Structure 1
Amino acid sequence: MRSEKHHKKRKTRWTIFFLTFLLLIGATVGYSYYQFKQGVNQSLKKVKKENKKKVVYTFEGKKDQYGDTNILLLGSDARGNERSRSDTIMIVHYNENKKTFKLSSIMRDSYVNIPGYGKHKINAAFADGGPELLRQTIKENFGMDLQYYAIVDFQGFVQLIDEAFPKGVEINVEKKMSENIGVTLEPGVQRLDGEQLLGYVRFRYDAVGDFGRVDRQQKAVKAIGDQLSTFDTITKLPKLIGVVSPFVNSNMDAADILFMAKDYLSKKVPVETLRIPVDNSFTEPMIKGEGAVLDINVQKNREALHQFISK
């Protein structure tokens, strides 16, 4: 008899525990969805009508040969003009087993073969065939598969930074910057809001041009990662994803983004970076119809990319 009563009490406790657990999961999911929709609605108020309809792209991506998930990350201020060239080309490499992230930047003037179009600057692939043709171009030249793409409107970057960092992102601005970036930045350590940080990562009117801009983009990514407060930001993730969602055209859904972002914040491992082309692997000739290009040694850069990913 005592054994039966003990068994019933134990069963009752486990039932209560299980129901409580389900209730907490339901509440968490409900709260996350509510925060996501709050973020979406907040940004929709700032989106111009012509930006609301997103271009639907095909993208035949898959995981790479190392089992990593690669995301083609493109920055654009096209405002709905699908023929524009991508201003920023990055690949986010995510290893689910190790929970690690790496970042490769491909310089937009890299002179490569674009399938069906011949040799051109790599950012022309986006103008000619969207993210799918750019995926094919990267696959042909660098032997790397890409599973997802995300085209981020620059205004979405501004909204995300302002929401995640109300006091701004701390950056050491190395020189005065103002030409063609919409803001004026003075040199020195300071906190930049979304508009200012966008200007910082887009500036290229100095002696090093696009090389400096790529370095600043990677520097900004590292600063953003280093300054994210793990607990506070994890609780804000659904709203942050909602805030940026109206400004992003991607084949990733919100659950994919949330899963990877959670891994990134909980792991807090510094992001390793690579620039393509690597040093001593290119020349800078003038090509008729193209202007100045980076004529790269494709094999050397392919090997550098694969070594970077697989180590």
Structure 2
Amino acid sequence: MKKKKNIIITVVIIVLVAIIAIVLVKINSSNVSNKENKNFKADTENGIVSENSQNATEDSSSSTTGTEDFAIFGVDSRSDQLDKGTRSDSIMIVRVNHDAKTVRIVSIFRDCMMNIDGHGYQKVTHAHAFGGPKLAVRTLNENLDLDIKHYVTVNFSSVGDIVDEVGGIVQELDDEEVKAINGCITEVNGIRGTNSSQITKAGTYTLDGTQAVAYSRIRHASGGDYKRAERQRTVLFKVFESAKKMNMASKIKVVSDLIGKVNTDYQTDEILSIFKNLSEYTIEDSTAYPQVFYGGTVEGAWVEVPTSLCDMATGIHKFLYGDDSYTPSATVTEYSNTMSGKVSGPNNDLTNTNFGD
């Protein structure tokens, strides 16, 4: 149960960071295409939120009812590119019930094979690279019979700046991680323009922003991408715990540093309406898919082929909506049959696994 609770906490962190960042981005950026909300203004330099902004927030929440789905894409962009050209290393589908004030979240593994319009059967992470969040959302909708309307794309590289602002994070490194982290530190130093030191032996360290990002990027160690995702969640959790202890001015400054590193099609008034009372919402549950799949090389690339896509879509509908009567569409059935024909059968079963740390 501990592992399951940790992934739920981690997803909440990502959602909170993304949403808060969007609010400030939409309020403060002069380049956004959304309509201007003249009643909402934040002074991020001095850490002050005006009285008018609080009133606007209160007014906007009165009609928040019903349900909605949106997608969160986490990209690892070295140039803050948040549209096409970057693969989504993290993919989440979020179901919000405003009447019951509950949230349910499904993570989709980045290597899961799906049919990407115009590009054939590939890892779902490539959809964002081919056509940005719009194609990524369309891919999820078409392969899983969903009706996702909105998206949020965040850049995990920005975590380094926040780690520095909260004073670093305390993390234990084992021998294998020490061997792998130094190459990542050198790489991240070059990306961020820092001069963080190498780590020479296993132990407990206070990692600065560059070292923390390097830690979260380790892939060539036991656990591969799954363990890397765990490290990313660990870093985010520790950042969030540190940020909770900061005063309001410091929190606003931290979030304002994410400006320009978030991409969304939500409008300011929609965000204020949806998330004004976020603390009242409960995360009911979280899970990840595919849970049964073939993992291996297919047509020259390593992928995770769900067995089957129909079963995966059925499980997601039941989890998100409590829908026991869902029947896969003809499109999903076609995609499912095509993918099943590419592999001999499942060789991985995570059904009884607690996902996460």
> How do residues 249-268 of structure 1 correspond to structure 2 at under 5 angstroms?
249-253=263-267, 263-264=277-278, 266-267=279-280
Cα distance in 2 for partners of 1:223, 1:286 equals 35
Contact 2:67–2:96 under 8 Å retained in 1: no
Pair 268,148 (structure 1): closer, same or farther in 2 beyond 3 Å: closer
For residues 82 and 222 of structure 1, the distance between their equivalents in structure 2, rounded to whole angstroms, comes to 28
Using the TM superposition, give the Cα deviation of residue 256 of structure 1 relative to its aligned residue in structure 2, in angstroms.
Answer: 5.4
Percent identical among aligned pairs is 24
Rg (Cα) greater in structure: 1
The RMSD of aligned alpha carbons is 3.7
Distance 1:30 1:128 in 2: 38
The C-alpha deviation readout for 1:176-199, integer Å capped at 9, x for no partner, is 241653265665555444333322
Alpha-carbon distance, 1:88 to partner:
3.0
Mapping of residues 64-143 of structure 1, within 5 Å: 67-79=67-79, 80=81, 82-143=84-145
Length-normalised TM-score, structure 2? 0.57
Tell me what 1:294 maps to. Answer: 304
> Structure 1: where are the runs of 5+ without partners?
1-28, 40-65
Task: Return the match for 1:194 from 187, 190, 209.
Answer: 209
CA shift in 2, pair 1:234/1:303, >3 Å: farther
Contact 1:68 1:93 in 2 (8 A): yes
Q: Which residue of 2 aligns with 1:208?
A: 223
Aligned to 1:26: none
What SS does structure 1 have at the residue aligned with 2:113?
Answer: strand
Task: Please give the secondary structure, in 2, of the residue aligned with 1:252.
Answer: coil
* Matched position secondary structure for 1:244: coil
**Structure 1 position 283, deviation (Å):** 0.8
One-letter amino acid matched to 1:242: S
SS in 2 for 1:181: helix
Structure 2 residue runs without a partner (length 5+): 1-37, 49-65, 187-197, 323-357
Deviation (angstroms), 1:259: 6.4
Classify the secondary structure of the residue corresponding to 2:317: helix
Q: Do 2:91 and 2:110's aligned partners in 1 also have CA atoms closer than 8 Å?
A: yes
In the alignment, which residue of structure 1 is the partner of 2:168?
168
1: CA distance between counterparts of 2:315 and 2:45? 39
**Residues 63-95 of structure 1: CA distance to partner in whole angstroms, max 9, x if unpaired?**
xxx813423222131524833333333334444
CA deviation after TM superposition for structure 1 residue 100, in Å: 4.3
Give the match for residue 44 of structure 1.
none
Confirm whether residue 244 of structure 1 aligns to residue 249 of structure 2. Answer: no
Q: What's the offset of the Cα at 1:109?
A: 1.4
1:127 offset after TM fit, Å? 2.0
Give the aligned residue type for 1:181. Answer: C
Match of 1:309 in 2: 320
Residues 1:304 and 1:128: Cα distance change in structure 2 (over 3 Å): same
Shift of 1:120: 0.9
Distance 2:161 2:311 in 1: 38
- The residue that corresponds to 1:181 in the other structure is 184
d(CA) in 1 for partners of 2:228, 2:268: 29
AA in 1 matched with 2:74:
L
